[in-house]
Amino acid sequence: MKPITISKNIISLSDFKSRASKMLNEVQKSHRPIVITQNGKAAAVLIAPADFDLLTERARFVNAVETGMVDIKEGRVLADEELGSDL
């Protein structure tokens, strides 16, 4: 996913409604997220499905690493020999 360009990638809800099809195509092509504002405040972010998949995959990976680090800290680990015998 590419970084947001303020002049191109922040759009009001009313502008988005009038150009939705074009904006969807642009997100797919450019892989730049679009921030949609409502009443002058960020209300939503539109990203391509492939970029969403990448973000969620990375989040799952980071979560797994964090869980593993907590397990190590709390002693929930097996020595290599124990693992070998358990398998």
- Domain ranges, ordered by start, for the chain: 6-47, 50-86
Could you read off the pLDDT of 67-85 as tens digits, one per residue? 999 999 999 998 888 878 8
Q: Going along the chain, which residue ranges are E strands? A: 10-12, 34-38, 41-46
Domain 6-47 matching CATH 3.40.1620.10: the answer reads yes
**pLDDT tier, 48 (very low <50, low <70, confident <90, very high otherwise):** very high
Beta bridge partners of 67: none
pTM greater than 0.85 (yes/no): no
Strand order in the sheet with 34-38: 10-12, 34-38, 41-46
Short-list 15, 55, 61, CA closest to 31: 55
Could you read off the pLDDT of 6-38 as tens digits, one per residue? 667 899 999 999 999 999 999 999 999 999 999
Q: What pLDDT sits at residue 6?
A: 62
